[in-house]
Structure 1
Amino acid sequence: MKILIAQPKLEKEIRQLEQEALNHPSVDIIIFPEGYLNHNVELACELAKTSNRIIISGHKKPKDRAIIINRNGVISLDRAKYDSSVIVEVEGKRIGHILCDELVLQGLSGLATSKIDFIAHPIGVGMFSEEQFDEWIIEAKKIAVAYQTLVMGTSHADGSYRGSDVSIPIAYCVDENGQEVFIAKNDIRSRILDTDTRTVEIIDVISS
């Protein structure tokens, strides 16, 4: 299974998502940040169906929500942020979805005995400090070890939290042993992860 993990710029449309789907036909799943889809959920469903991809991201309606769309363009998960974190089965894969700061506030509680193929972690904007960057990676490693699964996350390439002067774009993947598959800090190139070989292909920055 190949998963594309992207760090797009904030935009009103979904052109960067459309471009990634067009440019990388070999991937099975595309992960975009929290809040990227927003009012474009219907367009994203259509794109998932026409491109034959699973799309994992977030949107606002009107508050932040976690979303997974299957290859048929059908929404498999659409839950409000801070609701109980859940695992959903999509095409035989059990996928966890942690939305942004749910990572440090609640994680995935009560599911330690359930097999999870991977956990996706769409993040809104970049980290507001080096300390936060390190903290979130540490928490991701703890969850990966606790659930014996891959955890992967990504933020937008731009934007800051509540007007902070610092915004550090982040994308990462850690394995079930808490080891780093890759960590991207201030490097907004997309990555394609092959979950079978654990190899990572770095691809050019997407344009808006």
Structure 2
Amino acid sequence: MEKHLEQFSQDIKANPDVDLILYPEGYCQVTHLPEVKKLAKTFQTAVVMGYRNEQNVDRALIINKRGETLLDRAKTPETMPLFMPSTVDDDGQRYGYVLCREIFMGLEGLKSEEDIQLIFNPIGVGMFSEEQYEEWSGEAKKIALQQRSIILGTSHADGSYRNCGHSIPIAYCFDETGEEVLLSKNDTLTRIVDTVKKTVNLLIPQI
């Protein structure tokens, strides 16, 4: 979780052919959003991430390639149904969004008769156990199957859940049939995943 936007700036500039970049939950502060929008517009690259507002609370964010905000909403508390909106339309594509632990609300909250092409899951810190890793990726696979949609997620490499001292970075992608396209742990390489209509850069910052 950087104080500035060094890695994001580097990635978006180094990958001009990428259509969309996915970053983890809480990657940047609200004061950085004008610069994120400017870079998105300059490089014609959509951006999906989570950011921290003035109260240091996580929010969901999608910015299109024109630098316009498509989605900006609060993170859903664990005891409540998934906050809306959690789907947006962008140039003929329909995106779904579950921020970090909202993945466990997605089966019900994203359930829809309308087609969703891509579902995003920006995650905060890594997994705290192998069991959580299996549970998290298993939930993502269920959502992909239910919605017949590609689902993608990525976490930070640094930090641990509630300072437990253990963190397993995760990045994943399941296709519309629930087949594994990418499922990594403890591997902080930048990933580029080609989908049918989009190219998505999955990143775990090495901070």
TM-score, with length taken from structure 1? 0.88
| Other-structure match for 2:80 | none
**Structure 1: gaps (5+ residues):** 1-9
Within the candidate set 52, 69, 74, 1:75 is matched to 69
Aligned residue for 1:152, secondary structure, equals strand
Structure 1 position 177, deviation (Å): 1.3
For residues 94 and 198 of structure 1, do their structure 2 counterparts lie closer, same or farther at Cα, with a shift above 3 Å needed? closer
| Other-structure match for 1:115 | 115
Aligned residue for 1:138, secondary structure, equals helix
Structure 1 position 107, deviation (Å): 4.4
| Other-structure match for 1:7 | none
Contact 2:21 2:202 in 1 (8 A): no
| Other-structure match for 1:86 | 86
1:47 has 2:76 as partner:
no
Structure 1 position 134, deviation (Å): 0.3
Structure 1 position 105, deviation (Å): 3.7
Farther-moved stretch of structure 1 (143-152 vs 75-84): 75-84
The percentage of counterpart residues that share the same residue type is: 44
Structure 1 position 112, deviation (Å): 2.3
Structure 1 position 90, deviation (Å): 1.1
Aligned residue for 2:100, secondary structure, equals coil
Instruction: Name the aligned partner's letter for residue 17 of structure 2.
Output: S
1:19 has 2:19 as partner:
no
Contact 1:86 1:96 in 2 (8 A): yes
Structure 1 position 164, deviation (Å): 1.0
Cα distance in structure 1, aligned partners of 2:21 and 2:67? 13
TM-score, with length taken from structure 2? 0.88
1:36 has 2:27 as partner:
yes
When the two structures are aligned, how many residues end up with a matched partner?
Answer: 198
For residues 97 and 201 of structure 1, do their structure 2 counterparts lie closer, same or farther at Cα, with a shift above 3 Å needed? closer
The Cα offsets for residues 101-145 of structure 1, whole Å up to 9 and x where unpaired, read as: 000144452632010011011001100111000000100000000
Cα distance in structure 2, aligned partners of 1:201 and 1:96? 17
Higher relative contact order (CA 8 A, sep 6+): 1
Contact 1:86 1:108 in 2 (8 A): no
- Which stretches of structure 1, 4 residues or more, deviate above 6 A after TM superposition? 197-203
Cα distance in structure 1, aligned partners of 2:192 and 2:85? 25
CA RMSD of aligned residues (A): 2.3
